[in-house]
Amino acid sequence: MSTCLVAGSTGLVGSFLVKKLADNGNKVFALTRKEEFKDSDEVKHIKVDFDSLNLSSDQIEAIDDVFICLGTTIKKAGSKENFKKIDVDYCLSVANQSLNLGAKNLSLVTSIGSDKNSKNFYLSTKGLVEYEISRLSYESISIYRPGLLIGSREEARPGEFIGQLIQPLLIDPFLGGAVKKYKSIKAEVLADFISDHSGKSQGINFYDYRDFGR
């Protein structure tokens, strides 16, 4: 059994991940910006303000694994500056403070095509957070690069909803070989894979559909 911290615990992947970790007998501290949830023996929800994050040992005991599933859209963030704050600054803050709480294994969800040198702002931002996280002194860092995530979100994303209907049926069947990594993936399937692979390999490890798709 491990003690885990999940940031982005109410998101599409994070919500499945919290459930999976708890079902497997782990103790989970789930960070949330929303109103308090009902705690259980396995899961404790902690309401936080990521702009002034302070993960103290008064609230959270020593942890083994940290899972970062934070993410947004530029439309929801309101600007590129706010998007970068959420997808880079918030993630780094969680990662650094988790080290202080004893975490040895870190898992991060980004996106297929992530590259800090990309001319695409979204992909360059995802690549930047990968780069910064990779410089931290974790024993094991696992970075997951999914394509389109399949599942129901709390907030409406019309374009993504349409994509979820079209890609699995009309696009995925033609994605093989080198482009197989661009296939869509069910959020629950990805969450299962993430929970099972934390700390499994030392150093920095990258995963895409070719690893976690089934």
Q: Domain residue spans in the chain?
A: 3-150+185-208
Residues 104-151 pLDDT 10s? 999 999 999 999 999 999 999 999 999 999 999 999 999 999 998 987
Q: What is the CATH number of domain 3-150+185-208?
A: 3.40.50.720
Q: Can you give the pLDDT at residue 33?
A: 85
Asked if the model's pLDDT at residue 57 lies above 90, the reply is: no
From 19, 44, 85, 122, active-site residue: 122
* Measured distance CA(35)–CA(12) in Å, rounded: 18
Q: Identify the band that residue 169 occupies on the pLDDT scale cut at 50, 70 and 90.
A: low
Q: Can you give the pLDDT at residue 40?
A: 85
Q: Is 122 a catalytic residue?
A: yes
Q: Is 34 a catalytic residue?
A: no
* Measured distance CA(151)–CA(183) in Å, rounded: 14
Cβ contacts of 82 within 8 Å, gap of 6 or more: none
From 126, 181, 183, 186, active-site residue: 126
196 beta partners: none
φ, ψ for residue 93, nearest 5 deg: -65, -45
Which pairing describes strands 105-109 and 65-68: parallel, antiparallel, or unpaired? parallel
* Measured distance CA(23)–CA(26) in Å, rounded: 7
Percent of the chain with pLDDT over 90: 69
Q: How many CB atoms lie within 10 A of CB 81?
A: 9
pTM here is 0.92
Asked if the model's pLDDT at residue 152 lies above 80, the reply is: no
Mean per-residue pLDDT, 176-180:
86
DSSP SS3 for 45: strand
* Measured distance CA(96)–CA(91) in Å, rounded: 9
